[in-house]
Amino acid sequence: MIRVNDNFRELPSVYLFTQISRILAKYREEESPIPLIRMDIGDVPGPIANCVADAMHKAVNDLTNLNSFKGYGPEQGYSFLREIIYLKDYKERGIDIDPSVIFISDGAKCDLGNLGDILSKDCKVAVMDPSYPAYIDDNVIDGREGKLEGNKYSAITYLKCKAENNFYPELPDNQVDIIYLCSPNNPTGSVLPKEELKKWVKYAKENHSLIIFDSAYEAYIRHTDLPKSIYEIEGAKEVAIEIRSFSKTGGFTGIRCGYSVVPKVLTGYYSNGDKVELNSLWSRRQTTKFNGASYISQRGAEALYTDEGRKSVKEMTDRFIYNASNLRKLFEDAGWSVTGGTDSPYVWAGNPFGMSSYEIFETLLKECGISTTPGSGFGEEGEGYIRLSGFNTKDNTDRAIERIGKWLNDTKHKSR
């Protein structure tokens, strides 16, 4: 008999972004009079930098030659990429980690899910509310959720992020074992300052917890006093795994490449109390279940660290921040509660009319032909909010701003 994983029954039947795509496909099918502009997108519009394309072309050529052919690579990633990450992302910024703790992956989403393999099912998990939906869904699949009560799982601790506190998560009252932090945050665009991260590192030390720090958007940070890495906080190496991705910073959403840092001083315990390095467990997991990211994508990622590559990352992220900052201004001027759009490609906008997230989502779709992401899809605290993304061309963003601006103006007059 094919017995399946019962935990799947506890999941929402479709992943949030899949559900939105279905609604939008239906909108198109119905041939609505207004052509759709997608402001819900969590994907970069591209294109990739020429230096990345050149590096990948060259990598393909390497494969055509017996002498430079590459077959299975090291599971942990090629040292050319690990060395440059070590140098540019850490050492040059005064962070002391060495290349042996960097694991190249085929993306952050995969690492986030796979990390569950090395952690006990009994670990108590805390996530920010609202947050990127994969954190909860991954843990449901692994069986760390408890029971579904309303919209929440009984064994998961929801760290409320509220406007009055800049969407910084609250420390839990209870003891938790795994804490997911995402900064700059998807969906709220909020960035945790050093003082906030210090609180979490302290909590994790006192409670023997692991922080999984998702910094997929670190390249969007412009305020130099904001931390890009959790390892900028003293003692963080003993409690945190850092997960990064070239997706949103280099346009690698389709190419697939990212990395995780698993420090050797970070240790966990077997159920009999024996101590073990998470680095060695992760290494064992990866060598068993992963055969390394593609040589071609790793050469592409390496090119992002050249002067030309870094310039292109800056230019691309600048463009999306610019779009997001204009979206932010639009809603701010209309009296909505807004975050993001400064050190982030996302804008998080709470409506002042008391409408639900789905009401706003549907209204903007019907009346303006604009798709957004309903904030409630990211958690209960997201109710009343929508997420808009700067991942678009300037033309599309400008057109969207014009349409939404008109709607905001009409709505203002109607409500008077």
Residues within the interface to ligand PLP (CB under 6 A)? 42, 107-109, 132, 182, 186, 214, 216, 245, 247-248, 253, 258
Q: State which residue, 190 or 247, has the beta carbon closest to ligand PLP.
A: 247
| Nearest approach, Cβ of residue 289 and ligand PLP (Å) | 16
What ranges in 104-229 are assigned the alpha helix state H?
108-114, 134-142, 194-207
Cα(311)–Cα(321) distance, rounded to whole angstroms?
15
- Whether omega for the bond prior to residue 130 falls within 30 degrees of 0, making it cis, is yes
Stretch (H or E) spanning 13: none
Cα(340)–Cα(323) distance, rounded to whole angstroms?
11
| CA dist list (Å): 95 to 85, 99, 102, 282 | 12, 12, 13, 22
φ/ψ region of 180 (left if φ > 0, alpha if ψ in -120 to 50, else beta) reads: beta
Q: State which residue, 256 or 403, has the beta carbon closest to ligand PLP.
A: 256
| Nearest approach, Cβ of residue 214 and ligand PLP (Å) | 5
- Among residues 111, 126, 143, 107, which one has the least CA distance to residue 294? 107
| Nearest approach, Cβ of residue 370 and ligand PLP (Å) | 21
What ranges in 64-118 are assigned the alpha helix state H?
79-85, 108-114
| Nearest approach, Cβ of residue 245 and ligand PLP (Å) | 3
First to last CA, the chain: 64
Q: State which residue, 106 or 142, has the beta carbon closest to ligand PLP.
A: 106
Q: State which residue, 90 or 135, has the beta carbon closest to ligand PLP.
A: 135
| Nearest approach, Cβ of residue 405 and ligand PLP (Å) | 27
Q: State which residue, 42 or 369, has the beta carbon closest to ligand PLP.
A: 42
Q: State which residue, 309 or 369, has the beta carbon closest to ligand PLP.
A: 309
| Nearest approach, Cβ of residue 264 and ligand PLP (Å) | 24
Cα(96)–Cα(18) distance, rounded to whole angstroms?
40
